[in-house]
Structure 1
Amino acid sequence: MRPGRIAAEAEFKRLERRLVEFGDEPRREDPALFPPDLDPDWREAFRAEYEGQLAELEHALRDYDRRRAETRGLSISSAC
């Protein structure tokens, strides 16, 4: 395997693990994560950051999955 491909595989696996860990973290409705007495503006800011991180992880994982499929000679449509 080429060094670039090894690095891409390692990054893909790291992102996969992080996405699973992130999914196991408290949900946004969890009162411990967003206490009801927290200022509504702060609560929304925290929620937006949480959802933004999740979206970024999902996007990065899809991007690596696409690149991995292309490296293996598959088209995107056949990889899905």
Structure 2
Amino acid sequence: MKSEKDLNLPLYYDLYGSFLTEKQAKVFELYYNDDLSLAEIAREMAISRQGVMDTVKRSRNKLYGMEEKLGLVKKELEK
């Protein structure tokens, strides 16, 4: 079961996605929005599967960090 934090990840991306690098944003979109596997993304972007996983983790951590600092999603959900 996905945690509430994971369920809010698309909201975090909508608000804070511009803080990701171009590569991080592309990998995030392919992984979460297009539901591609790590191997499919690796082939498409010509990087290793581990490189894709590292980018996904870094992107997710960056989005969580932005929400922790700014709390915009939390404020919006409390309305």
Q: TM-score, structure 2 length as denominator? A: 0.38
Higher-Rg structure is 1
Q: TM-score, structure 1 length as denominator? A: 0.38
